[in-house]
Amino acid sequence: MKIEVVQLENIRSHVKSTVPFTRGFNCLVGGLGCGKSSVLYSIDFALFGDPVGRSYEYLLREGADYAKVTVQFTQNGNTYLLTRGLRRRGRSIGQDFEVLKLFQGESLIASHKAEAVAEQLTAITGFDRDLWREIVWVRQEHLKELIDAAPRERQKRLDELFGLSDYEAAWSNIAQYLRDYETEKRLLEKDPDVTGKEKLGDEYNRVTEEYTLLEIELQDTQEALGFSKRVLEEADAKLKRLEEKRLAVEELKRREARIHEGIGNAQRNAQSLNRTIEGKRTVLENLRQRRVSMETQMETCKRRLQDTGMPSDQPAEVLRSVLQDFDNHISSLKGEREATFRSLQTDLKRVAQLNTEKENHCPVCLQPLNGEYKSAMLQRIHAENGERQTLMKQLQEEIDKLQRTKLAANEAFTSLQTLASRLEDLKLTVGGEEKNLAELLTEQNQRQDADKDLQAQLDSVRFEIARFDLSDLEAARTQREKAFRQYYATEADVRTKENRRGDLLRSLDLLKDRIDGAQQKVERVEKIGKTVQVLGAIRDAYRSIQPKLRSEFVKVLRNFVQQVLDGLVGGEAPMLNVVVDDTYTPYVKSDSGANREVANLSGGERTLLAFAYRLGLGQLIMQSRTGHGLGMLLLDEPTENLGTEDGSITRLAEAISRFKAIEQIIAVTHSEDFAEKAGHVIVLEKDAGVSKVSIAKGE
């Protein structure tokens, strides 16, 4: 597995960051709190989803309501993309499963369900959460955790990772199975069915003989029951027919009452209908008279319209247009009168001006005037004003006449419109009343026919009622009661024998089951005896195989750790010669042959040994689980107990850079000396509380 890109959104100090990685030695470098370790925590969250602690508070950025991590990685030539999100809900933080998606290339292979994604990831990478957090991801200050652990605790943890703890569990579980089988065997041997198997056989034969005799008696009784049943069915059928006839007669009597009542109701309804018809005729006659009166009024209105000079036989739209012409003509005359009045006023002003001026000037063109021309002009203006006054009087008389004519025409038109609307409504009312009257007359005829039909039905029903005789019904009831008692007695006898037969059958089945069970228990005792022998042998084998397998794992682990150390020093003579005992405890053999415990090593030696132990252990576990070695390693501040002055940090970085057995190593450090040896260096800085990512070295 090789991680290519990690994208973080609202993760701790990261608002939106993209962190690229390459094959080989990658290093995240930066100051304290700049978001380096957040990248490793985000990778762990994206792959497995479970929080490192009790909650996701360590991941979600303060004040943010959601977060998202995207990891793109390759495995066996395929590219995969995994997204996982967080969402704040009230006071709690949980996964946002809508964001959870796993792609292979462009194809979605799992989504929304954590179990499905985890199953796919394990199948693709070979990693599960425990293996990842124990071996692949070495968290800060956890590098020496395994070599510093107590031997028994280390043995227990590594046995679980190697799968050896399953043998211990199997050895313990088999002991319980052995006890259970031995207890079952003792109980079966004392079972009463097993000890009394012959008595069960004798009882089975006796019940079988009784059952055979009962079957013969039951067959005879069932034949008698069949005969009684036929007699009862015939009596039932006859009684049913008579009961149905009685019910029919009762129904006929009820029908007679209903018909008689219907005839009375029909007569009353006919009288009411006759009164309604007479009332309708009176109303209709009144409406017709009103229609004649309205038509007369309309003719009067039309004559009034004709008197005003308007056409009375035209549609309402035309008449409205004619009335509008009256208004237009009156407006035109008023305009002409107003224009004449203005001209009159203008000339009066000119005359007044000419009479008051000392010098004679034309009031229009201001040219000087002589006395004779001025007098002629004044006479002409007085003559024109007289004509204008006469014209204004004529115009006013014509306007008054037109207004009176328009008023009379408008009143006649309005009355005509109102009468036309009312007449139309009246015609509709008359038509509706005529239709109602016709329907009532039709209903009257139908009711007369219905009365005749009801009378005929009444006569027919009374004839049918007279034909029924109650004595036949009483005789049929007596016969049916006798047949029923006979049938019931026979049926009770059959039920008694059938119940006894059922009891015998159940006894036979029970005896047979007990006999079969006894035989099975005998066979079970024999099988349990053989099983106890086999389980004892298997338990002894589990007890002996676990130490042998652990011894083999220890040998391979020692070789892997030594190989990693040799790889870290780059082909020089190994700085440390490693020995591993059966508790997976590493020692360093000195030149004199003595074993030095880890606690007696220097800080740099312990760090180097812890690093090699982790890598060797990871290689061995991955080989045992998947058939291939450890492909990647995540280191969080691996330079603990190492210094810059003695060069131990630089030597560890050089050793890691030369180590080619692992495809990708991602380390987090604050040491620039350590980061210089990486092939790909990502620098993280914090600006205003937000992490910034830049590439200092590599692509």
Look up residue 598 and give its DSSP letter.
G
pLDDT digits (tens, 9 = 90+) for 173-192: 777 777 777 787 778 778 88
DSSP 633-684: EEEESTTTT--TTTTHHHHHHHHHHH--SSSEEEEEES-HHHHHT-SEEEEE
pLDDT at res. 364? 55
Q: Kindly report which listed range (24-38, 75-89, 302-316, 448-462) carries the lowest average pLDDT score.
A: 302-316
Find out whether 543 and 235 touch, Cβ atoms under 8 Å.
Answer: no
**The pair of three-digit structure tokens given for residue 7, joined into one six-digit string:** 């994208």
Domain final residue, candidates 426, 455, 488: 426
The pLDDT confidence band at residue 650, using thresholds 50, 70 and 90, is: confident
pLDDT digits (tens, 9 = 90+) for 326-354: 778 878 888 888 888 888 888 788 777 77
Claim: this prediction has a pTM higher than 0.95: no
Domain final residue, candidates 426, 449, 480: 426
In angstroms, the CA 584 to CA 608 distance is 17
Strand 680-687, strand 24-30: pairing? parallel
**The pair of three-digit structure tokens given for residue 177, joined into one six-digit string:** 């199975």
In angstroms, the CA 553 to CA 623 distance is 11
Find out whether 557 and 614 touch, Cβ atoms under 8 Å.
Answer: no
665 pLDDT above the threshold of 60: yes
Find out whether 274 and 395 touch, Cβ atoms under 8 Å.
Answer: no
Q: What 3-state class would DSSP assign to 577? A: strand
**The pair of three-digit structure tokens given for residue 323, joined into one six-digit string:** 């009335």
Provide mean pLDDT across the span 247-270.
79
| Element of type H or E holding 7 | strand 2-11
pLDDT at res. 95? 93
Assigned domain for 406 exists = yes
Q: What is the mean pLDDT of the chain?
A: 81
Assigned domain for 401 exists = yes
Provide mean pLDDT across the span 428-447.
82
86 pLDDT above the threshold of 90: yes
544 pLDDT above the threshold of 90: no
pLDDT at res. 365? 58
Q: Kindly report which listed range (101-110, 378-387, 558-567) carries the lowest average pLDDT score.
A: 558-567
Which residues have CB under 8 Å from 388's CB, separation 6+?
340, 341, 343, 344, 347
- Single-letter code of the amino acid located at 438: A
**The pair of three-digit structure tokens given for residue 289, joined into one six-digit string:** 């008279």
150 pLDDT above the threshold of 90: no
Alpha helices in 570-647 (DSSP H): 603-626
Assigned domain for 271 exists = no
Per cent of the chain over pLDDT 90 is: 18
The domain containing residue 668 runs over which residues? 2-141+601-697
* CATH code, 382: 1.10.287.510
Closest CA to 212 of 508, 604, 544: 508
pLDDT digits (tens, 9 = 90+) for 126-139: 888 888 888 888 88
Domain final residue, candidates 359, 393, 426: 426
In angstroms, the CA 163 to CA 228 distance is 80
Q: What 3-state class would DSSP assign to 43? A: helix
Assigned domain for 576 exists = no
**The pair of three-digit structure tokens given for residue 96, joined into one six-digit string:** 């946002």
Residue 450: CB atoms within 10 Å: 15
Residue 641: CB atoms within 10 Å: 14
**The pair of three-digit structure tokens given for residue 256, joined into one six-digit string:** 């007679």
In angstroms, the CA 677 to CA 665 distance is 12
Assigned domain for 505 exists = no
Assigned domain for 55 exists = yes
Residue 514: CB atoms within 10 Å: 17
* CATH code, 50: 3.40.50.300
What total of structural domains would you count in the chain?
A: 2
Find out whether 674 and 639 touch, Cβ atoms under 8 Å.
Answer: yes
| Element of type H or E holding 464 | helix 371-466
Angle at 471 between CA 470 and CA 475, to 5 degrees: 120
Assigned domain for 325 exists = yes
The pLDDT confidence band at residue 11, using thresholds 50, 70 and 90, is: very high
Assigned domain for 211 exists = no
Q: What 3-state class would DSSP assign to 692? A: strand
473 alpha-carbon distance from chain centroid: 68
DSSP 220-253: HHHHHHHHHHHHHHHHHHHHHHHHHHHHHHHHHH
